[in-house]
Amino acid sequence: MDLQASLFILILISLLYLLFSLLIKPKLWCNCEICSAYLTLSWSKQFNNLCDWYTHLLKNSPSKTIHIHVLRNTITANPENIEYMLKTKFHNFPKGKPFSIILGDFLGRGIFNVDGDSWKFQKNMASMELGKTSICCYVFDIINCEIKTRLVPLLSKQDQVLDLQDVFKRFSFDVICWFSFGIDPSCLELSLPMSKLAMAFDLASKLSAERAMNVSPLVWKIKRALNLGSEKELKRAIERINLLAKEVIRQRRKTGFLNSNDLLSRFMSIINDETYLRDIIISFLLAGRDTVASGLTSLFWLLSKHSNVVSAIKQEADRIIGENKELTSFDQMKELHYLQATVYESMRLYPPIQFDSKFCQNDDVLPDGSVLKKGTRVTYHPYAMGRIEEIWGEDCLEFKPERWLKHDGVFSPENPFKYPIFQAGFRVCLGKEMALLEMKTVTLSLIRRFRIELLTPPSPDQHPRKPHENQRQLYGELSSGSGQINPTKAVNPGLIYDINEDLYISFLCKQGYDTRTITLLIGGKKEYHCFSFKPGRGIDGLNYPSMHIYLDGTNPNISAVFHRTVTNVEEGDLEYNVKVASPKELSVVVIPKTLKFMVCR
């Protein structure tokens, strides 16, 4: 069957399925205010994303529960409802088939993709192993080794720009692979090619999640059956993961696993099925990679804005560990109560998993009176809960680690159903202590060695000279600036490169991006067409400190003209000396050599 025929069949079956859905679906449209706003996207005029809109709705709901009827989705931020779902009537709120089907090819029968006896078996097995003191010490050693030999040396290098979120993703993948498989993917070794396992894992995670974005499950199922598009890519990624995982398992059997501490070796003494072992370990990789990286990224963003919190963590560490002394044991970490409170507070405001869903197995009624029909998706929303005054008080929007401490400075955890960051009840996260240990160790190690500063101003009113051109993405590079674009971080200081939205779009047009991609990058509410924008001046058309030119090595006479405009935002008569850094092979001429600034009032 050729590609055209396959696509025709895919489209035809999808249309028939949608037509069938139209005939049997009980509620295609709902005129209630929430459903109308959802279907017409009118919510997007006030809110940047669905999470913030849901938060607004939940805050204003007397029961802290809302219903999206057209999605058969009930969303709650009510701690009593969450306790009912995750503990009281746990068996009536499983993960559900829709979830397990979407992730089935990737996670198989892993703990995060199953219910019932299979889930119970894996939970008991993992609880037994993860609760041992020996494994906590093993994890502590892995984390410390990765920090000292890779993370700190990488961040200590001069004259480089790093994406901290990417660094944390690489770090957490190295750690979780060591812990789970006993292998080192060396993701933090930037000089080496990215690990094949890491690349395949990223792709499989992304494409599996995208299945949920399809109009109907039938769309991706047909693509999978015909081996087309994203499903073809997903299949290849999973095959690579399976190949690598099974090879590790076979090698471990040859070399012996009884004296190894990694999770795979521990489970191999209980399970013989290679595929089952693969599914279990891949689930732990998924849980231990992105969540930790996301949590660390949010935490360091908050620390960069709260120097008082950084100082308090350092003072506590100096008192418990000793000034200029290294953390040497897992037990020492238990005494750092303020650090623990800081990590908890960060995840209260920015949970790595913003919401989680279960499916109602039989008709039920939540404690707040919400009626649930069989098959209803029930979502609890930690992100919204962290922003509700009735749950966390009038200061709920403040980053305040002290809220977690008793009067004697000892950390005091909250009701887990009020703070379901690690889930709660029977499905509480088994890797909770490992994740906390990793986040706390990284945080302590870095803030004692480095100064944390926010590269971009957190809001338009902190830009002292000129208002932002684009306020849709307050923390984005375009809207807030980075380096020389931000007056508070400008060269020498005071010179900024102004970039507005139109200039950035012109640059993207010049680089060959299409309308759809530009719209996604800008984050706008309308489509952006290149013919509507004036072309940028120079070879790249972007007013930015850095300049790029492609050299193919065959033509020694390549030349290019870049146009840049700088604004002086410093008061008074000052002289700036700016040095142009370029490769030795290039001759760079700056015209004019001297800049004179006009006063703008």
Calculated CA dihedral for residues 75, 80, 82, 86, nearest 10 degrees:
-150
Closest CA to 168 of 136, 143, 203: 143
HSE at residue 169, side-chain half, CA atoms within 13 A, is: 16
DSSP tally for the chain: helices H, then strands E: 23, 8
Cis peptide before 583 (omega within 30 of 0): no
The secondary element (H helix, E strand) that includes residue 356 is strand 356-359
User: Is-contact 181 262, C-beta < 8 A?
Assistant: yes
CA dist., res. 453 & res. 71, Å (int): 42
User: Is-contact 551 584, C-beta < 8 A?
Assistant: no
CA dist., res. 265 & res. 256, Å (int): 9
CA dist., res. 174 & res. 360, Å (int): 37
Estimate to the nearest angstrom the gap between the alpha carbon of 536 and the chain centroid: 33
The radius of gyration of the chain's CA atoms, rounded to the nearest angstrom, is 27
DSSP-derived 3-state class of residue 380: strand
User: Is-contact 293 169, C-beta < 8 A?
Assistant: yes
* Strands 495-496 and 567-568, bridge-based pairing: antiparallel
Estimate to the nearest angstrom the gap between the alpha carbon of 279 and the chain centroid: 23
- 187 is an annotated ligand-binding site residue: no
Tokens of 106: 């990737």
> Which residues make Cβ contacts (< 8 Å) with residue 54, sequence separation at least 6?
66, 75, 355, 381, 384
CA dist., res. 395 & res. 545, Å (int): 40
CA dist., res. 431 & res. 172, Å (int): 13
The secondary element (H helix, E strand) that includes residue 26 is none
Beta bridge partners of 75: 66, 379
User: Is-contact 218 10, C-beta < 8 A?
Assistant: no
Closest CA to 297 of 104, 157, 162: 162
Count of C-beta atoms within a 10 Å radius of residue 562: 18
**Annotated binding residues for heme:** 429
**Annotated binding residues:** 429
